[in-house]
């Protein structure tokens, strides 16, 4: 009988789920806080259920002789050394969708508190001041809510805001016109949102593209007296710029549940009366904590008793027998998705994945999940092979999968086609005997290229002298070419250069490459 340790506080119902599924369980909710006792005990367990208090470090994992799975009741896994767990073959799971309603409700609560200055009015009244004229609020009815991020949580916020009779304007790189209509929001670009919104709420992951998405320049584009709510991630707002805007009155108020540095024990924003702060309470309701506890107990039990893998962060759903043949194709699928995702800037409406030849006979589900992960990760960051299919579904992206017998020269290949509101973009690849993924076609143009960590993608008109000009410019910029791959549609038509390079290319260098005669697009790719 498999044995599970629960080293943080989980409900009695969650503990009972383990027992009902035939799993032996030790409920020791304070063990994770004692590093030495945790280290001594972990060796006897097959599974570990945690919240955020237990720190599953490389040292703890080194003592986990029998551990097969770690389950985190919640989304964040900062307290787990995932690379160390992966090296040891330990599955790491989380519960990515259990807190959505709770976080959305917190954002709405923060907005209402901000509109009516509730915390400050509460303090004043309790101090016997009765300052009725001081706390003049604003209605939210008929106001414009600017929604930055319209995914799982953002769409729930939009629904609740519409119930409050607000007009919701949303910015999200993956928001299609059809999806916007389905959730009842108006799709807008970021500058338009800043210009129109009375309230702005953030519901996006923290990646390079979203870091300081609200900064001094963005605030300058906003309405005077705008109110800002952030229950998503610290780092989305430049706190110094927000501080200055709050002091000047450009921003009437801010409600923050997350901060650049947490725990946020000292922060200049705390000095301001027009700022409401909470200690990262987004997921803190009885219902949410119970939901994720029950979910993680079911997931760990299912894996230990039947081998079923759900919401794994470091492993796709692959059986031991399938792994040797399937893993190279999973890597190819993710690379093709990443290739297309990095080149796509418009909202995606459809993703088609075609498997031909010997790969079509394999389990394509993990490959499809890997491809979707590759497509969405450049824009979303906080995503994995397990959550990607659900997120694609939530965002109204039509995913089509097709399999067929060998028809062309390759024994097996995968073709991925992205459809956006403006165009279709296709890329195909295969796996050779070395097991390394290779590109064999881009936008209908045949070419063969090995995918390397740093690449440069250039589309151009097929005119004499282009290769020389490109090579000379890269030399002048100090960029060393490791490999140069070319393909073209027709003589004088569209052509593609795909270069493996040492180091990376800056935005300024890309702009210089894009000014070369005949160049239509220049993009840096990372794999």
Kindly report the backbone phi and psi dihedral angles of residue 292, in degrees, each rounded to the nearest multiple of 5, phi listed first. Answer: -70, -30
Whole-number Å distance between alpha carbons of 462 and 439 = 20
Neighbouring C-beta atoms of residue 109, cutoff 10 Å? 19
Residue listed under structure tokens 């999806």:
179
Whole-number Å distance between alpha carbons of 39 and 63 = 6
- Answer yes or no: do 208 and 333 share one domain: no
pLDDT of res. 84 = 85
- Answer yes or no: do 403 and 499 share one domain: no
Pair type for strands 454-461 and 445-450: unpaired
Distances (CA, A) of 484 to 161, 251, 338, 455: 52, 51, 20, 10
- Answer yes or no: do 259 and 150 share one domain: yes
Q: Which residues contact 248 (CB under 8 A, 6 or more apart)?
A: none
162 in a structural domain: yes
- Answer yes or no: do 124 and 43 share one domain: no
Concatenating the DSSP letter of every residue in 238-274 gives -HHHHHHHHHHTSEEEEEES--SSSS--S-GGGG-TT
Average pLDDT rounded to a whole number, residues 108-130: 96
Whole-number Å distance between alpha carbons of 59 and 40 = 11
pLDDT of res. 351 = 96
Say if residue 319's pLDDT is above 70.
no
Average pLDDT rounded to a whole number, residues 260-276: 94
357 in a structural domain: yes
The CATH number of residue 437's host domain is 3.30.1330.90
Residue listed under structure tokens 């004692």:
34
CB 67 within 8 A of CB 61: yes
Kindly report the backbone phi and psi dihedral angles of residue 6, in degrees, each rounded to the nearest multiple of 5, phi listed first. Answer: -105, 105
| H or E element in which residue 15 lies | helix 12-20
Low-confidence winner among 39-48, 88-97, 148-157, 267-276 (lowest mean pLDDT): 88-97
207 in a structural domain: yes
Kindly report the backbone phi and psi dihedral angles of residue 42, in degrees, each rounded to the nearest multiple of 5, phi listed first. Answer: -65, -25
198 in a structural domain: yes
Average pLDDT rounded to a whole number, residues 30-36: 91
- Answer yes or no: do 187 and 336 share one domain: no
Residue 318's pLDDT band (boundaries 50, 70, 90)? Answer: low
37 in a structural domain: yes
DSSP E strands in 451-504: the ranges are 454-461, 481-488, 494-501
- Answer yes or no: do 471 and 382 share one domain: no
Beta bridge partners of 459: 496, 521
pLDDT of res. 323 = 65
The CATH number of residue 504's host domain is 3.30.70.260
Average pLDDT rounded to a whole number, residues 275-298: 94
pLDDT of res. 493 = 78
Whole-number Å distance between alpha carbons of 6 and 297 = 10
- Answer yes or no: do 390 and 419 share one domain: yes
pLDDT of res. 208 = 87
Angle between helices 387-394 and 365-380 (to 10 degrees): 70
Exactly one of 280, 325, 469, 488 is catalytic; name it. Answer: 280
Concatenating the DSSP letter of every residue in 44-99 gives G-SEEEE-SSS-B-HHHHHT-SS--EEEESSS--TTB-HHHHHHTT-EEE--TTTT
- Answer yes or no: do 130 and 266 share one domain: yes
Token pair belonging to 32: 């994770």
| H or E element in which residue 354 lies | strand 348-357
Residue 68's pLDDT band (boundaries 50, 70, 90)? Answer: very high
- Answer yes or no: do 396 and 416 share one domain: yes
Average pLDDT, the chain: 91
165 in a structural domain: yes
SS3 content of the chain, % helix, strand, coil (to 5): 35, 25, 40
282 in a structural domain: no
Pair type for strands 412-420 and 424-431: antiparallel
233 catalytic? Reply is yes
311 in a structural domain: no
| H or E element in which residue 202 lies | strand 199-202
pLDDT of res. 87 = 74
Count of domains observed in the chain: 4
Token pair belonging to 96: 């990515």
Exactly one of 72, 227, 233, 425 is catalytic; name it. Answer: 233
Token pair belonging to 494: 């569209």
pLDDT of res. 406 = 85
- Answer yes or no: do 203 and 269 share one domain: yes
pLDDT of res. 504 = 87
- Answer yes or no: do 457 and 446 share one domain: no
Beta bridge partners of 251: 226
pLDDT of res. 308 = 76
pLDDT of res. 58 = 94
Residue 400's region, left for phi above 0, alpha for psi from -120 to 50, else beta, is: beta
Nearest CA to 343 among 427, 399, 414? 427
Average pLDDT rounded to a whole number, residues 313-323: 66
466 catalytic? Reply is no
- Answer yes or no: do 259 and 403 share one domain: no
The CATH number of residue 155's host domain is 3.40.50.720
DSSP state of 10: -
End-to-end CA distance of the chain: 42
Residue 328: give the domain boundaries: 316-451
Exactly one of 24, 139, 262, 411 is catalytic; name it. Answer: 262
Average pLDDT rounded to a whole number, residues 511-521: 91
Q: Would you call 438 helix, strand, or coil by DSSP? A: strand
The widest CA-to-CA distance across the chain, in whole angstroms, is 84
């Amino acid at each position: 009988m498999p044995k599970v340790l629960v080293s943080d506080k989980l409900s009695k119902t969650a503990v009972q789920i383990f027992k009902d599924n035939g799993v032996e369980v030790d409920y020791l909710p304070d063990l994770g806080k004692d590093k030495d006792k945790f280290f001594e005990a972990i060796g006897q367990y097959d599974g570990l259920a945690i919240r955020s208090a237990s720190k599953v470090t490389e040292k703890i994992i080194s003592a986990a002789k029998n551990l097969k799975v770690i389950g985190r009741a919640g989304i964040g896994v900062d307290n787990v050394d995932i690379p160390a767990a992966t090296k040891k073959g330990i599955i790491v799971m989380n519960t990515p969708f259990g807190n959505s309603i709770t976080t959305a409700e917190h954002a709405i609560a923060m907005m209402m508190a901000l509109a009516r200055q509730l915390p400050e009015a509460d303090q004043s009244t309790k101090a016997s001041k009765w300052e009725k004229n001081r706390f003049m609020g604003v209605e939210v009815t008929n106001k414009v809510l600017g929604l930055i991020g319209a995914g799982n949580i953002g769409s729930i916020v939009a629904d609740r805001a519409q119930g409050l009779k607000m007009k919701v304007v949303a910015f999200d790189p993956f928001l299609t016109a059809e999806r916007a209509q389905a959730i009842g929001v108006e799709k807008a670009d970021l500058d338009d949102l800043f210009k129109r919104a009375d309230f702005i709420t953030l519901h996006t992951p923290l990646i390079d593209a979203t870091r300081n998405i609200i900064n001094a320049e963005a605030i300058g584009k906003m309405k005077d007296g705008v109110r800002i709510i952030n229950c998503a991630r610290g780092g989305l707002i430049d706190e110094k710029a927000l501080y200055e805007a709050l002091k000047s009155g450009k921003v009437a108020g801010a409600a923050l549940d997350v901060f650049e540095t947490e725990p946020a024990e000292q922060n200049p924003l705390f000095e301001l009366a027009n700022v409401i702060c909470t200690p990262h309470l987004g997921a803190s309701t009885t219902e949410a904590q119970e939901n994720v506890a029950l979910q993680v107990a079911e997931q760990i039990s299912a894996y230990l008793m039947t081998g079923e893998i759900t919401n794994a962060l470091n492993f796709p759903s692959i059986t031991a027998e399938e792994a040797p043949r399937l893993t190279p194709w999973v890597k190819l699928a993710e690379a093709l998705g990443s290739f297309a995702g990095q080149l796509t800037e418009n909202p995606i409406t459809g993703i088609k994945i075609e498997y031909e030849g010997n790969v079509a006979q394999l389990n394509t589900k993990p490959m499809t999940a890997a491809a979707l992960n590759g497509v969405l990760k450049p824009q979303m960051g906080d995503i994995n092979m397990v959550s990607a299919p659900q997120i694609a579904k939530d965002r109204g992206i039509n995913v089509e999968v097709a399999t067929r017998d060998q028809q062309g020269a390759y024994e097996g290949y995968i073709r991925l086609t992205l459809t956006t509101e403006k165009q279709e973009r296709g890329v195909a690849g295969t796996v050779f005997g070395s097991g390394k993924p290779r590109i064999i076609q881009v936008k209908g143009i045949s070419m063969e290229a090995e995918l390397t960590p740093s690449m440069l993608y250039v589309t151009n008109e097929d005119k004499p002298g282009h290769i020389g000009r490109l090579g000379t410019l890269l030399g002048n910029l100090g960029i060393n070419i490791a490999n140069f791959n070319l393909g073209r549609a027709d003589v004088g038509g569209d052509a593609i250069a795909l270069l493996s390079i040492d180091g990376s290319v800056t935005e300024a260098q890309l702009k210089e490459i894009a000014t070369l005669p005949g160049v239509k697009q220049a993009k840096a790719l990372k794999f």
